[in-house]
Amino acid sequence: MQKIGLTHTHLETHTHTNLLVLILTVKVTND
């Protein structure tokens, strides 16, 4: 059970990081 929760949190963090990178990339490209 704990392992599944840990994996789920890791996936959420990974997706969150990808979104931040995407936003930063768009900002740099627009500059």
Residues 5-24: tens digit of each pLDDT:
677 777 788 888 999 999 99
Burial pattern 1-28, b for ≥16 Cβ within 10 A else e, equals eeeeeeeeeeeeeeeeeeeeeeeeeeee
Instruction: Specify if 7 maps to a domain.
Output: yes
Instruction: Specify if 10 maps to a domain.
Output: yes
Instruction: Specify if 17 maps to a domain.
Output: yes
* Structural domain total, the chain: 1
pLDDT band, residue 30 (cuts 50/70/90): confident
Instruction: Specify if 1 maps to a domain.
Output: yes
- What pLDDT, on a 0 to 100 scale, did the predictor assign at position 4? 67
Instruction: Specify if 31 maps to a domain.
Output: no
Lookup result for tokens 């740099």: 28
Residue 15: domain span: 1-25
- What pLDDT, on a 0 to 100 scale, did the predictor assign at position 3? 73
Instruction: Specify if 13 maps to a domain.
Output: yes
Q: Rounded to an integer, what distance in angstroms lies between the CA atom of residue 21 and that of residue 4?
A: 26
Instruction: Specify if 16 maps to a domain.
Output: yes
